[in-house]
Structure 1
Amino acid sequence: MAYQVTSRTAASPELAATYAALILADEGIEITADKILALTNAASVELEPIWASLLAKALEGKNVKDLLSNVGAGGGGPAVGAPAAAAAGGAPAAEAPKEEEKKEEAKEESDDDMGFGLFD
């Protein structure tokens, strides 16, 4: 594919670095700080090396294409898994509320131990 990242396209150096990482991922090339800097420099975008390094470390070992395809799936994962676990065995789903109750009780007790509470 032909890519063109120019200073007109990138609203900020950080956005240009993100575009560079996406280009590398799309081409199946390992995302490194040096490669991000090379792409942003080729686009005449000044990017501090620390930002390229941080982005490369954040994406290290991750499949960027999978991250992009699962953007909307982040919040619902555990809730979807709970009914499936209940259907499969039943026991794990029954234990979860008991654990939450114990945590809440412990939290309330710790407030009382300090000599004050929310409604005192």
Structure 2
Amino acid sequence: MASTSILACICSTLILHDHEVTVTKDKLKDLIKTAGVTIEPAWPSLFAKAFANIDVNSLICKVCAGSSAPAAAAVVSSAALVATEEKKEETKQEESEEFDDDMDFGL
């Protein structure tokens, strides 16, 4: 079952698409905040990156035509890949900062 964060991003993406507005991280965040929904902060970024190269019209048409599994799998796998890469970057930055802190010699 999808989490509240994912559902909020999906609905926001569809709302933005319906109003012919480009899906961006900031627009997703603003729309979700306006709706009063609390989500995990990484999801708007993931959805914005996932939908940057996907035509929402064709995705909707594929879902309506009954081939929803491959289309949905593509979006979810894209989002998961981006999430994994972002977590790796955050971990590297944290490790780098910790290493820098350890190098302070009390001279």
Q: TM-score range by the shorter chain?
A: 0.5 to 0.7
> Partners of 2:67 and 2:8 in 1: how far apart?
26
Q: Residues 13, 73 of structure 1: CA spacing in aligned structure 2 closer, same or farther, 3 A cutoff?
A: closer
Normalized against structure 2, the TM-score is what?
0.55
Q: Give the paired residue count.
A: 66
2:67 to 73, 95, 107: 73
2:46 to 34, 44, 54: 54
Shift of 1:13: 2.4
Q: What is the one-letter code of the residue matched to 1:69?
A: C
C-alpha contact 1:16 1:45 (8 A) present in aligned 2: yes
1:42 equivalent in alignment to 2:25: no
Over 3 Å off, 4+ runs: none
- Structure with the greater alpha carbon radius of gyration: 1
Q: 1:20 is matched with which residue?
A: 12
With a CA cutoff of 8 Å and minimum separation of 6, indicate the structure with the bigger relative contact order.
Answer: 2
> Partners of 1:50 and 1:13 in 2: how far apart?
9
Instruction: Return 5+ residue gaps in structure 2 as ranges.
Output: 70-107
C-alpha contact 2:4 2:39 (8 A) present in aligned 1: no
Shift of 1:74: 6.1
Other structure's SS at 1:30 match: coil
C-alpha contact 1:31 1:56 (8 A) present in aligned 2: yes
Instruction: Return 5+ residue gaps in structure 1 as ranges.
Output: 1-10, 76-120
Shift of 1:62: 1.5
Whichever structure has more helix as a proportion of its residues is 2
Normalized against structure 1, the TM-score is what?
0.49
Shift of 1:48: 2.6
- Determine what percentage of the aligned residue pairs are the same residue: 37
